[in-house]
Amino acid sequence: MTSTQRSSDPEPRARSVAGNVIRGSLGNLIEWYDWYAYAAFSIYFASVFFPSGNPTAQLLNTAGIFAVGFLVRPLGGWMFGRYADRFGRRAALTLSVTLMGAGSLGIAFLPGYAQIGALAPVLLVIARLLQGLSLGGEYGTSATYLSEVATPHRRGFYSSFQYVTLTSGQLLALGVQIILQQMLTPEQLHSWGWRIAFVIGAAAAVTVMWLRRTMDESPNYELAVRENAAGGERGSLRVLLQYPRECLTVVGLTLGGTIAFYTFTTYMQKFMINTAGLPKEEVTWINFVALLIFVALQPLVGALSDRIGRRPLLIAFGVGATLCTVPLLTAVAHVESALAAFGLMMIGLVIVSGYTSINAVVKAELFPARIRALGVGLPYALTVAIFGGTTEYVALGLKNIGHENWFFGYVAAAALVSLLVYVFMGESSRRSQLERETRELNAGIGESVTVSPTAS
């Protein structure tokens, strides 16, 4: 460990914050690109890993494996959250992107059902399990890191970059899809072209692994190290269970938001193709442009939360998603033009922004530094595994039995549950654990404690 003095000059501090946010966010972007490449290209490789037949059944199988990846995310949330609280945010983030790259490389070179039969989907499941572990740890640690390194009173703005990069990862996957659609024939894409997307993800993960090793460690983590130097415990389930109300709040915060998010982003592409009957290439462009605007909205809404608080925006999302989901999805199902489909999707994404832009900082504000990564990551991962990861599977399953409209009500009902949580919870920014720690740091506590890049 080395000793450093904090500069009183705000400009170097601002540059340091921006640099750490950029490096952390780039890693987040690549992780989510690798994750979303599966969803974006499943319309092409579903027939490679499963026997030919009903296209909806093939998509249902790939959606099932997508859900399996989510099921191990709680394990990843526990493993990486524990690791981040004990050994640092930077070390955990570097490890998570390495694991994600390994999963992508595996998918890129997997033989198909025609070559190895039923072993093909089994190996696909294993690769997704690796990615699920990685992503399970990525969210909690990334949300913690971005919230902790952010400038006080601008935490909503800086932490919003988690969903900027999360959605940018999906955009990048769609962008690669658009380029490949222009360069290759549909037959080539279905045969081998989809593999290129996973090779790109694996290569990018290597670069990001190096970038994350150069990030500064979070000062809040350093403070936790100092405060617990006398034998205090960090990053354990025993400590986490001392915060039952906060854990349940994370679950309630996440429930409606994660289902709505995956409905209006990853599932919307399949919904427009499989239900509305729009051409694949047209739908790809609709999703790309809509998500590009969605990305630009995140820091704007995040900055707004720094002015008016987090709770009003969460309530706005809850009300909007509860009342508007059924009519929006019903309209998309019967849409006849690409422009109308784009407009409807955009309305849904504007509503969802009330949750996505600030959910990371709200959760981070609930826990102290010694348990923050695990406290944010594990309850979130459990909720996403049960509800977010099964969104597509529920939607396609209900469509398969002829009751697709039931799914619309399911999304609205989940939003209503979260709305009740938003109404009764307090304003997290007013009693933020992050701000308490910042005051301690500004008072000189932990001033000489800085974890070097090689320390763990």
pLDDT for res 55:
63
Show the DSSP H helices in 150-218 as ranges.
155-159, 161-183, 186-188, 195-213
Q: State whether residue 450 is helix, strand or coil.
A: strand
Residue 366 CB contacts under 8 Å (≥ 6 apart), including other chains: 243, 246, 249, 250, 375, 376, 428, 433
Domain 21-442, CATH: 1.20.1250.20
Q: What is the C-alpha to C-alpha distance for residues 104 and 426, in angstroms, rounded to an integer?
A: 41
Q: What is the C-alpha to C-alpha distance for residues 102 and 201, in angstroms, rounded to an integer?
A: 10
Q: What is the C-alpha to C-alpha distance for residues 100 and 366, in angstroms, rounded to an integer?
A: 28
Which residue, chain included where needed, has tokens 């996505």? 356
Q: What is the C-alpha to C-alpha distance for residues 132 and 168, in angstroms, rounded to an integer?
A: 19
- List the chain pLDDT tens, one digit each, 456 residues: 333 334 434 444 545 777 788 777 787 888 889 878 887 788 788 778 776 665 666 666 676 776 677 778 889 899 999 999 988 888 899 888 888 888 899 889 988 877 887 788 888 888 888 888 888 888 888 888 888 888 778 888 988 888 888 888 888 987 898 899 889 988 888 888 999 999 999 999 888 888 888 788 888 888 877 777 555 677 788 889 999 999 999 999 999 999 999 999 888 988 999 888 898 888 888 988 999 999 999 999 999 999 998 999 999 999 999 999 999 999 999 998 999 999 999 999 999 999 999 998 899 888 988 899 999 999 998 998 889 878 888 998 898 888 889 999 999 999 999 999 999 988 877 777 777 777 777 776 444 443 333 333
450 φ, ψ (degrees, to nearest 5): -135, 125
194 and 329 in contact (C-beta within 8 Å)? no
Tokens of 421: 């949580």
Q: How buried is 426 (Cβ within 10 angstroms: 0-12 exposed, 13-18 middle, 19+ buried)?
A: exposed
Residue 9: CB atoms within 10 Å: 9
pLDDT for res 348:
96
Q: Give the length of the chain.
A: 456
Which residue, chain included where needed, has tokens 């394990």? 75
149 and 216 in contact (C-beta within 8 Å)? yes
Q: What is the C-alpha to C-alpha distance for residues 321 and 417, in angstroms, rounded to an integer?
A: 11
Tokens of 123: 């190996």
Residue 238 CB contacts under 8 Å (≥ 6 apart), including other chains: none
Among residues 227, 229, 218, 236, the alpha carbon closest in space to that of 89 is found at 218
Cα Dmax for the chain:
67
pLDDT for res 129:
85
Q: How many CA atoms lie within 13 A of 165 on its CB side?
A: 24
Among residues 298, 309, 423, 283, the alpha carbon closest in space to that of 356 is found at 298
Q: What is the C-alpha to C-alpha distance for residues 357 and 431, in angstroms, rounded to an integer?
A: 19
Q: What is the C-alpha to C-alpha distance for residues 151 and 143, in angstroms, rounded to an integer?
A: 14
3 φ, ψ (degrees, to nearest 5): -95, 140
Domain ranges within the chain, ordered by starting residue: 21-442
pLDDT for res 447:
43
Which residue, chain included where needed, has tokens 């008072």? 443
pLDDT for res 450:
39
